[in-house]
A and B are shown apart, each in its own frame.
Chain A
Amino acid sequence: MLSVKKLNIKINNQNVVKDLTYDFSVKEGGLFVLLGPNGCGKSTLFKAIMGFSGYEVSGDILLNGKRINDLSIDQRVKLGLAYMYQHPPVIKGVKVKDMLEEKDLDDDFWDKYSKNVDELDASKFYSRYVNDGLSGGEIKRSELLTLTMLENSKLFLFDEPDSGVDLDNLKNIGKYINNIVKESKSIGIIITHTGDVLKYLDVQKAAIMYDGKIVCEGDPEKLINCIKKSGYHECVNCKDLEK
């Protein structure tokens, strides 16, 4: 579904993602996890895929074989991309309620929304300014809730859904991510550098990003065990893993 070819991403003239060619496809309803240390380029890759400004991109970003490099963020969303922020901005003045009221939403949506609010224990976010004064776990739950307003999402990009989250929230968030990907028969790609959320997810495939490149891929459990045992640097040099 999502692949990149000879992708280079620069920020302030610094090459962060380097000549990357990779196919992120997994089976429908499945999850792919992208592991890697801080600063290796994972979040930069996601942001470039979404079309955020400030990234100099060359090469191809392909969604279902279609090059999307020149599309705006909202056009990419209409094609089925959905992005969960790691650090979303606070928008004082705009409430979740305001965003929903701007959309033409039918009864089916409100049924789904109501169910998701219950699952995420997120009723209080409706009337609050977007991301204003929320704790780490609340920000993640609010972000997941706002994904509900996107129709026809086919590919979810979850940017560190486990960062700054306590154990109770982690379980809830993991379960929720599993469900929305399965129920919508879409695909989810998750970035994590701690791997904490993985025990609550059914991940089909994993890869390690290191210094702007994907250096190995394989069974998620094996990769995590290797990283936990030897650290990222040793792990990427391990001959037992698929390169």
Chain B
Amino acid sequence: MMNLDEFLENYSNIGFNPYIVVSDNNQIPLESNEDNLDVLSIKNKEVNRYLKEKELKTQENNWKEYSGYFIRAKKNSFGSVQTCFLTSSKGFEQRVQNIIVVEENAHLEVFTGCLSNSHGLDNIHRAITDIFIGKNAKLTFNMIHSWSRSSKVYPSTRVYVDEGGTYISNYVVWDEVSMISANPVVELKDNAKTILQSLSYIHPNSDIDLGGHIKLIGSDSSGEIHSSAVNNGGKFSTKTTIEGLGDNSKGHIDCNALLLDSKAVVSAIPELYSKNDKTELTHEAFLGKISNDEIEYLQTKGFEREHAEELIVKGFANKSIERMPDIVKEKMRNILDKAKEGF
């Protein structure tokens, strides 16, 4: 487990400003109100006023103690934010509610890291996140996890994309974590687009459930879900659904999983639902061990068998993130370079 400084450097600090740190259930230390971007505590009264004015409905929470942020990228703006969720003590249950609004024609990039420090064993992170993307607006949401090996993580995410809007989610879990159950739901209006892509490394005691549900409500809307996992003996599930409802909507699901250990369990359940004869929905999947032909090929190039396997796993990981932004690729390169003990 790396210390906080190392984590911030390796995972979360990418130079974006503002930088929001949510520690345990404490309120965010700094709020900002700028020309292009508002960052407020979720408990700020202005948040409710704004939601009411815009008639935006969020998921309910019944928590007594919680924290979280409200981010608003204003109309026609370009901006970026980095956020980090920390839990500090053993067994702590962090509860956060987050709201992100990207107004019409605005572009926002969010980079998020999650961390529990070296004392944060057995902690739980619960997050309710509602995202509203306006007409022709775009949100790229990048997340790299680094919880402790006994952390349990339960995010509940709802995303609403208005006409011509775009939502891209890049989700990476490489360090050991006990459990993640994440099944975001994305609703798209006319000409809206979403891509949900994830890469997970499943450690022997990990149970990772990364799914997704896309509702192609509007005409000419499109959605893709790409799930990749390297499973070294844990459990990985990905239940994904795309509903083709609008005219000329298009959806695609794929899942690729490399099984490195005989105890690895992978379950991929793609569901395509069409209620419109003008939709086009596809899916494909590959679950299996590393190809022996590929290993032997690399051996003929002088690599020992273990080294060849390592090269193929790294290649699988790099290919899985090739459509992700450079900042994610760079962070992943650091992580893979540090995985010296092999896979």
Contact = CB atoms under 8 A, between A and B. Distances in A.
Contact of B315 (A53, A82, A85, A93): A93
Contact of B302 (A50, A78, A85, A88): A78
Given A92-B315, A93-B319, A102-B311, A74 B294 contact: no
B298 A99 contact: yes
Given A52-B296, A53-B292, A89-B297, A74 B303 contact: yes
Given A92-B319, A93-B315, A93-B316, A74 B292 contact: no
A149 B302 contact: yes
Nearest to A81: B300
Nearest to A89: B293
A55 to B, nearest CB: 11
Interface in A85-140: 85, 88-89, 91-95, 98-99, 102-103, 129-130
A82 B300 CA distance: 7
A94 B315 contact: yes
Contacts of B291: 89
B314 A98 contact: yes
A63 interface: no
Given A53-B292, A92-B319, A85 B299 contact: no
Given A52-B296, A73-B296, A98 B311 contact: yes
Contacts of A150: 301-302
Contacts of A78: 302
A85 to B, nearest CB: 7
A85 B311 contact: no
A134 B38 CA distance: 50
B304 interface: yes
B315 A74 contact: no
A98 B315 CA distance: 8
Nearest to B293: A89
A146 interface: yes
Interface of B is mostly: helix
Interface string B89-102: 00000000000000
A158 to B, nearest CB: 13
B321 to A, nearest CB: 10
A73 B315 contact: no
Contacts of B316: 93
A64 interface: no
A73 B299 contact: yes
A176 interface: no
Nearest to A99: B301
B300 A102 contact: no
Contacts of B311: 94, 98-99, 102
Interface string A62-90: 00000000001110011000110100110
A44 to B, nearest CB: 15
Nearest to A82: B300
Contact of A74 (B293, B299, B317, B319): B299
B331 interface: no
B58 interface: no
Interface in B31-80: none
B88 interface: no
Contacts of B312: 91, 93-94
Contacts of B305: 72, 74
Contacts of B314: 93-94, 98
Given A98-B315, A102-B311, A89 B300 contact: no
Contacts of B292: 53
Contacts of B301: 77, 99, 146, 149-150
Interface in B271-301: 291-294, 296-301
Interface in B139-167: none
B307 to A, nearest CB: 7
B300 A73 contact: yes
Interface string A182-212: 0000000000000000000000000000000
A72 B307 CA distance: 13
Contacts of B297: 85, 88-89, 91, 130
A90 to B, nearest CB: 9
A72 B315 CA distance: 23
Contacts of A89: 291, 293-294, 297
Given A53-B292, A89-B291, A74 B304 contact: yes
Given A72-B299, A74-B304, 19 more contacts: A52-B296, A53-B296, A72-B305, A73-B299, A74-B308, A77-B299, A77-B300, A85-B297, A89-B297, A91-B294, A91-B298, A92-B315, A92-B319, A93-B312, A93-B318, A99-B301, A102-B303, A149-B301, A150-B301
12 contacts: A52-B296, A74-B308, A77-B302, A88-B297, A91-B297, A92-B315, A93-B315, A94-B312, A95-B315, A102-B307, A103-B302, A149-B301
7 nearest CB pairs, A to B: A93-B315, A94-B315, A93-B319, A73-B299, A89-B293, A74-B299, A93-B316
Interface of A: 50, 52-53, 72-74, 77-78, 82-83, 85, 88-89, 91-95, 98-99, 102-103, 129-130, 146, 149-151
Interface of B: 291-294, 296-305, 307-308, 311-312, 314-319
